[in-house]
Amino acid sequence: MATVYDFSLPAKKGGEVQLSDYKGKVLLIVNSATGCGFTPQYEDLEAMYGRLRDRGFEILDIPCDQFGHQAPGSDDEITEFCTMKFGTDFPQFKKSEVNGPGELPLYTWLKAQKGFEAFEADNKLTPLLEQMFDKADPAWRTKSDIKWNFTKFLIGRDGTVLARFEPTKDMAAVEAAVEAIL
């Protein structure tokens, strides 16, 4: 059976980073964007990373421009924005696609492991997202595609997918799930 360690991610400066380099760590894989309503989650992610990385936790940040062109700019510009505005220190990879014919093989696998379940009912952005998706594709709820920026996958130390968190999931709940498996 495949695990996350069977995949690689494109490095910002070229080449590939083997995810087997992270063997034995708890991972949170995030598709991100710098101009999104969820972009402030970078602050929560960095705080979580600071608190938990010494316990074997890594965040793998994959910028993605597929959702409303909300990750414009080069990889260097994205990194500069994240570093200057949020002080991010976790690994950030090359801007990549997470859906469609150009999607990273990692995302094909992640979505097969944990499909979309629902947006959080108590998030103020949920009605807006649902309305937008209902207009675009009435069957969107049944598809495993990544719906928006800041979708997160929690990977256990054995390389298996334990959970998928949509961007509407409260970050405190995400951190609690990470802590529970550390």
Q: So where are the chain's domains?
A: 4-174
Q: What is the mean pLDDT of residues 138-143?
A: 96
Is residue 120 a contact partner of residue 159, using CB atoms and an 8 Å limit? Answer: no
Hey, which residues are catalytic here? 36
Answer CATH for 4-174 from 3.40.30.10, 3.40.50.300, 3.20.20.70, 3.30.9.10: 3.40.30.10
Q: Which two tokens stand for residue 119?
A: 């947006």
Residue type, 175: E
Residue 153, SS3?
strand
Q: Is this structure's pTM higher than 0.75?
A: yes
Q: What is the mean pLDDT of residues 94-114?
A: 97
Q: Which helix (H) or strand (E) holds 80?
A: helix 75-86
Q: Return the HEC string of 44-66.
A: HHHHHHHHHHHHCEEEEEEECCC
* pLDDT digits 0-9 by tens, 155-176: 999 999 999 999 999 999 999 9
Distances (CA, A) of 172 to 79, 117, 157: 24, 19, 21
